Amino acid sequence: MPVLSGFLNAKLGKMWKAGEQLLPTSVWMLSTYQQGALALELPELIQLVKLVWKSKHSLQGTKRKGISESEEALPTTLPLRTEAVPFIHTRMSTANSGEIGTKKKVKRLLSFQRYFHASRLLRGIVPQTSLHLLDGDYLGQASHMLSKVGTWSFDMFLFDRLTNGNSLVTLLCHLFNVHGLIEHFQLDMVKLHRFLVTVQEDYHSQNPYHNAMHAADVTQAMHCYLKEPKLARFLTPLETFLALMAAAAHDVDHPGVNQPFLIKTKHHLASLYQNVSVLENHHWRSTVGMLRESGLLSHLPVEMTQVIEQQLGSLILATDISRQNEFLGRFKSHLDNDDLCLQDADHRHFMLQIALKCADICNPCRVWGMSKQWGERVCEEFYRQGDVERQFDLEISPMCNQQTDSVPGIQIGFITYIVEPLFNEWTRFTESSVLTESMMCHLRNNKVKWRGLLHKQHHNGEENEQLSEVS
Ligand SMILES: [Zn+2]
């Protein structure tokens, strides 16, 4: 019997429901929004594609739930994790795979989501869950939000709900339009849409954190950074295209566990990439595969697509957090020596790498309500990994033990050692732009709030100890 069969049968594939709050009343009371504004903004061809999907969908008798219908069912707190584990597809083998120092052995953890769902579109299978369809009632509200897509307070949780979980596709279509990329690169809208749907679907919706909404959030942040006065005037359309594409795809097919987990469970991708930036290499290669499959760039010269693929890789690989010091050191050195020359393409590329790194870890710089949700989600994902490690007698990874690693503690460490050092340098680069000042203000406030929660937890813990001693 495969070692993990019970684990697979009982638990894999459970959908995690986010603990979003209900929609604010003010949003529902908006009566002045323009119905169809977004639809008018997207090319007619896309509308045609939507209609085709819609008719197919209704023929199949599948009812898509609107927000108002599912509102009552939405939990207001994070769900219990007893039934939830990372969605790592495992193909068990009884063949010897070597000792990994455990009583129970995880034999082999094979491929992620993509290999099970690859080429669905090419095989002519209609996707069931991620159609780019906006219910009419929410179209106007989503459109209203898109008109403010460049503001730092943009609420991706709300936007994702208004777009029925299609935040990534909707956002990217919009941003490609806004930046004039469709026209500039003569992109085929059907191919673009198909590519974006494939990317969105390759994110694991059951991951609390590394899902398509995180990708959309990073892309929105990237859009804000691309508008920074220090950077914006130097960027070429190709660089804008690369920056948005890399942000959208930077975590695609993330399994919800980290690289050390893949290495210690001898995942084939770990050996494929020789234990170096395993996940990031996979995100990049998956993106390239989807790009080629979609034919989105097939009309461009081969040399150009090669450059695009290579630079996408360079950007995505920069998000490997274990390379933080390498990038931070170089960034500091440029700022200390005042030798960043943004007329130089290599320097611009480096700044796009830095911008993507900032966008990827900018959660603590958002307003508290959103920042807290992201913080809880990422810890939830860590804890799930810890649960699997505990279950299979693997050493529990740092920050993955819910019994000893608290959310506020993890967040304060993350802010202190990762976020602040990078954003302090970003502040120098942008010369304290309006956006940067706002982000740093949130960052300081959020750290204070996490500290308050940590203090409260300690206090409650001590009280409980005293109570148990008395009893
Ligand atoms: Zn990410």
> CA nearest 291: which of 316, 326, 264?
316
What's the burial of 446, exposed, middle or buried (CB within 10 Å: 0-12/13-18/19+)? buried
Separation of alpha carbons 311 and 317, rounded Å: 10
Residue 251 marked as a ligand binder: yes
Say what the pLDDT of residue 41 is: 46
Residue 84 marked as a ligand binder? no
The answer to whether the CB of 143 falls within 8 A of the CB of 40 is no
Q: Which two tokens stand for residue 324?
A: 């933080």
pLDDT value, residue 30: 30
Render 115-132 in DSSP notation, one character per residue: HHHTTTTTTTPPPSS---
Q: How far apart are CA 125 and CA 366, in angstroms?
A: 39
The dihedral over CA atoms of 158, 162, 163, 168, expressed in degrees to the nearest 10, equals: -10
Residue 211 labeled ligand binder:
yes
Other beta carbons within 10 Å of 361: 19
| Å from CA of 85 to ligand 1 middle | 19
Centroid of ligand 1 to alpha carbon of 70 (angstroms) = 28
Main-chain dihedrals φ then ψ at residue 325, nearest 5 degrees: -65, -35
Instruction: Report CA(250)–ligand 1 centroid distance (Å).
Output: 6
Angle at 456 between CA 454 and CA 462, to 5 degrees: 105
For 311-324, the pLDDT digits (tens) are 999 999 999 999 99
Give the HSE-up count for residue 18: Cα atoms under 13 Å, Cβ half-sphere: 27
% pLDDT > 90, the chain = 66
d(CA 214, CA 175): 16
pLDDT digits (tens, 9 = 90+) for 7-54: 223 233 333 333 333 333 232 233 333 333 343 344 444 454 455 455
250 marked as part of a ligand binding site: yes
Q: Binding residue per annotation — 459?
A: no
Residue 407, helix vs strand vs coil: helix
List, in sequence order, every beta strand (DSSP E) within 69-185: none
Give tens-digit pLDDT for 255-270: 999 999 999 999 999 9
Q: 75-79, 349-353, 370-374: which has the minimum mean pLDDT?
A: 75-79
Q: What is the pLDDT of residue 75?
A: 38
CA of 362 from ligand 1 middle (Å) equals 10
Count of positions (residues) in the chain: 471
pLDDT value of position 87 = 54
- By CB atoms closer than 10 A (0-12, 13-18, 19+), residue 196 is buried
Burial (Cβ within 10 Å: 0-12, 13-18, ≥19) of residue 177: middle
What's the average model confidence in pLDDT over 79-99?
45
359 annotated as belonging to a binding site for a ligand = no
Q: pLDDT confidence of 114, banded at 50, 70, 90?
A: very low
Which residues participate in catalysis according to the annotation?
A: 210
CB 193 within 8 A of CB 47: no
pLDDT of 330 above 70: yes
Q: If you measure from the C-alpha of residue 360 to the centroid of ligand 1, how many angstroms do you get, rounded to a whole number?
A: 5
Distance 316 CA to ligand 1 centre (A): 9
What's the pLDDT score for residue 283?
98
pLDDT the model gives residue 140: 83
Rg (CA), the chain: 23
For residues 164 and 94, which has the higher predicted lDDT (pLDDT)?
A: 164
CA–centroid distance, 214 to ligand 1, in Å, is 7
pLDDT tier, 426 (very low <50, low <70, confident <90, very high otherwise): very high
Annotation-wise, does 446 bind a ligand? no
CA of 5 to the centre of ligand 1 (A): 30
Span 225-232, average pLDDT: 97
pLDDT value at 333 more than 70: yes
465 C-alpha to ligand 1 centroid (Å): 38
The CA 168 to ligand 1 mean position distance, Å, reads: 13
**What are the sequence ranges of the domains in the chain?**
2-118, 138-457
- Cα separation values, 229 from 328, 426, 431, 454, Å: 21, 13, 10, 38
Measured distance CA(380)–CA(29) in Å, rounded: 33
| Annotation: CATH topology of 138-457 | Catalytic domain of cyclic nucleotide phosphodiesterase 4b2b (1.10.1300)
Q: Mean pLDDT, to the nearest integer, of 340-364?
A: 98
